[in-house]
Amino acid sequence: MVESREEFLPLNKPSIGEAEIAAVTACLKSKWITTGPLCAQFEEQFTALTGARYALSVVSATAGMHLALLALGIGPGDEVITPSMTFASTVNMVARLGAKPVFADIRYDTLTIDAERIEALITPRTRAIIPVHFAGAPADMDRIGEIAARFGVTVIEDAAHAVGTRLRGTHAGGFGGIAIFSFHPLKNITTGEGGMITHNDDTLQNRLRILRFHGIERDAWKRYGKGGNPEYDISEPGYKYNLTDIQAALGIAQLGRLDEFNARRRALVNLYREGLAGVAGVELPGDPPYPHTHSHHLFVPKVCAMERGLFMERLSEYNIGYGLHFPPCHGLTYVTARFGVTSLPETERAAARIISLPLFPDMTDQDVGYVCAAVREILSRPGGA
Ligand SMILES: Cc1ncc(COP(=O)(O)O)c(C=O)c1O
């Protein structure tokens, strides 16, 4: 009998140490706190990490996706292929621009887009494919890149989960298209809220930069510096999507700890795999069948022997947090109303069973042991008795 712990074990908690506090404090003391040299440094570090030529920091991955879709000129009459098993932010941005999300089914084991199903969905209206490196497992970028090149379609990698994800040695964002990263507190590194767009295209960089800040050509820190020209003109209205240097200071310090964070995540996932191996009623996440480095952003097993709602109730009784990544987008009310009903058998089979269990670098080995023991006990009486 597993005794319920007193302290709640959350799904996730960012790891913020002295390095982060010192970096943010130094930024505050510098008195330059909005977009400036630290954002530029954070962006440079992202080009180094990903191998992409350009990186542009933004307030969130959602904002990054919005800007990327806008800069590509995606709008009414256009179609964008995306898995339904993703965060709603992508589909929201596609829909907001008046374009149509076309949902591709996923692989049940890895929850990543099934690259073999993409080609059948391409039409003359298809403008982009948005694979997701789900939970940190890389999508099949070789196959997706080949299809995209053949049909002249842009790939926008949703790399929100993928800081540290590699496929055959190439980091997410390094495959030649556009990639969007997230620094939400749940992600592998955080800036509080934040995101990064990476890509290789000179013209696109200029357009993204202008759209990021009201449509104004020059950055604030250049306009207000010594000898700067405070005048401006706007030829296209833009947004207010720039990251601040306070956030970048946090991001730079977090990036400095990425290897430590992801190694710890890997060790915790290995403990989960050992602790849940052979437990009837739970399926462990599959691994992509090509050489890769997983960022282990999330640990998402599937519960097969009992109703997931009841399983979640039981986890709460043990004081264990959980998450749902994701309620599939094709079932969202406005999506079915606007774009019709889609049948995605693998997505639906997985969606009924997935559950995200606690995973964050500051978790202890004992925490994982406790979750595994609780899961074993819960599944040993699947009727809920
Ligand atoms: C797969 C995926 N894409 C995009 C996003 C959006 O990221 P952000 O919160 O930085 O806008 C998330 C966030 O949870 C995500 O999980």
Domains along the chain with CATH numbers: 18-255 (3.40.640.10), 258-380 (3.90.1150.10)
Ligand 1 neighbour 195 (Cβ under 6 A): yes
Q: What is the mean pLDDT of the chain?
A: 96
> Omega into 326 within 30° of 0, i.e. cis?
yes
Confidence label for 224 from pLDDT (cuts 50, 70 and 90): low
The model's confidence at residue 381, banded by pLDDT at 50, 70 and 90, is confident
Tokens 């003109």 map to which residue? 233
Catalytic positions, please? 187
Whether residue 219 has pLDDT greater than 80? no
Burial of 163 (0-12, 13-18, 19+ CB in 10 A): buried
Give the model's pLDDT for residue 231: 86
- 3-state DSSP percent of the chain in helix, strand and coil, to 5: 40, 15, 45
Percent of the chain with pLDDT over 90: 94
pLDDT average, residue stretch 170-184: 98
For the segment 25-36, the average pLDDT, to the nearest whole number, is: 97
Q: For the residues 224-250, what does the mean pLDDT come to? A: 90
Tell whether ligand 1 has an atom less than 6 A from the beta carbon of residue 248.
no
CA–CA distance, 42 with 35 (Å, rounded to integer): 11
DSSP letters of 276-342?
HTT-TTEEPPP--SSSEE-----B--EE-SS-HHHHHHHHHHTTB--B-S---GGGSHHHHHHH---
- Over residues 260-275, the pLDDT tens digits come to 999 999 999 999 999 9
Average pLDDT over residues 178-202: 98
Cα-to-centroid distance, 381 and ligand 1 (Å): 35
d(C-alpha 151, C-alpha 118), whole Å: 11
Judge whether residue 385 has pLDDT over 90. no
Check residue 217 and give its pLDDT. Answer: 81
> Per-residue pLDDT for 17 more than 60?
yes
Q: Tell me the mean pLDDT in the region 199-206.
A: 97
Token digits for 182? Answer: 């997230």
CB 276 within 8 A of CB 284: yes
How many CB atoms are closer than 10 A to CB 268?
23
Between 217 and 218, residue with greater pLDDT: 217
Quick check: 112 pLDDT over 70? yes
Single out the residue of 353, 98, 61, 44 nearest to residue 183, CA to CA.
Answer: 61
The closest residue, in CA terms, to atom 8 on ligand 1 is 61
Provide mean pLDDT across the span 43-55.
98
Q: How far is the CA of 185 from the centre of ligand 1 (A)?
A: 11
What is the model's pLDDT at position 1?
A: 87
Q: Please write the tens of the pLDDT for every residue from 327-346.
A: 999 999 999 999 999 999 99
User: Minimal CA–CA distance to 190: which of 121, 248, 139?
Assistant: 248
> Angle at the Cα of 148 (from 72 to 88), degrees rounded to 5?
60
pLDDT at 71 over 60: yes
Strand (E) or helix (H) holding 155: strand 154-158
Q: Is 182 in the pocket of ligand 1 (CB under 6 A)?
A: yes
Q: Whose CA is nearest to atom 16 of ligand 1?
A: 87
What is the per-residue pLDDT across 272-324, written as a single tens digit (0 to 9) for each?
999 999 999 999 999 999 999 999 999 999 999 999 999 999 999 999 999 99
- Give the pLDDT confidence score for residue 229 in this predicted structure: 79
CA of 78 to the centre of ligand 1 (A): 22
Predicted confidence (pLDDT) at residue 258 exceeds the cutoff of 90: yes
CA–CA distance from 6 to each of 3, 316, 317, 319, 320 (Å)? 9, 12, 10, 7, 10
Residue 183 and residue 189 in contact, taking contact as beta carbons nearer than 8 Å: yes
pTM, entire model: 0.97
Strand order, beta sheet including 166-167: 170-171, 166-167, 292-293
List of residues 6+ apart from 65 with CB closer than 8 A: 89, 90, 93, 130, 156, 158, 180
Count of C-beta atoms within a 10 Å radius of residue 89: 20
- pLDDT on residue 226: 76
Would you say the CB of residue 132 lies under 6 angstroms from ligand 1?
yes
Helix (H, G, I), strand (E, B) or coil at 240: strand
Closest to 269 in 3D by CA, of 368, 133, 166, 148: 368
Mean pLDDT, range 21-48, rounded to an integer? 97
The whole-number average pLDDT for the span 89-100 is: 98
pLDDT surpasses 80 at 223: no
Indicate if the pLDDT at residue 141 is higher than 60: yes
